[in-house]
């Protein structure tokens, strides 16, 4: 049996339909966020150009500011790509416990900022048949 561009929805199981829908939503969100982030970068660049024009900067000063701006944008993008894990934080205190895990007061090692971190036990959640999408 040859496959065409699409399969009839009636032949797919409900599980498959749900997975297709979840995948579609995930991809749409990913690309809409990507486009929005690109537009934000362009707006920041235009704002920089406008400010430099208003200040009447010389070409060399403009070049230096553009270079500094590009470095900051690159660093920002690099920070966004890094994944945080338990090893990036120091646990200070357990502030709550629940059916699926606990909430801890933690301090980020590199900045010293204090946050509340919810730690979920995936096995317990799956055991209790909770439908939660894990990243």
CB 100 within 8 A of CB 119: no
d(CA 124, CA 121): 6
Torsion sign (Cα): 69, 74, 80, 86 = negative
Q: Taking Cα atoms as reference points, which of 37, 39, 47, 38 lies closest to residue 69?
A: 47
17 annotated ligand binder: no
Q: Which residues lie closer than 8 Å to 106 by C-beta, 6 or more apart?
A: 89, 90, 91, 92, 114, 115, 116, 117
Residue numbers in the known binding site are 118
Binding-site residues from annotation for ATP: 118
């Amino acid at each position: 049996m040859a496959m065409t561009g699409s399969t009839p929805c009636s032949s797919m199981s409900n599980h498959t339909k749900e997975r297709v829908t979840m995948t579609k939503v995930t991809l749409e969100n990913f690309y809409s966020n990507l486009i929005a982030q690109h537009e934000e970068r362009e707006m920041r660049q235009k704002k920089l150009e406008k400010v430099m024009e208003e200040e009447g900067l010389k070409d060399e000063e403009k070049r230096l500011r553009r270079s500094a701006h590009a470095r900051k944008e690159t660093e920002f993008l690099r920070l966004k790509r890094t994944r945080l894990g338990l090893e990036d934080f120091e646990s200070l205190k357990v502030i709550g416990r629940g059916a699926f895990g606990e909430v801890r007061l933690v301090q980020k090692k590199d900045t010293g900022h204090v946050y509340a971190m919810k730690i979920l036990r995936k096995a317990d959640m799956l055991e209790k048949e909770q439908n939660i999408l894990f990243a």
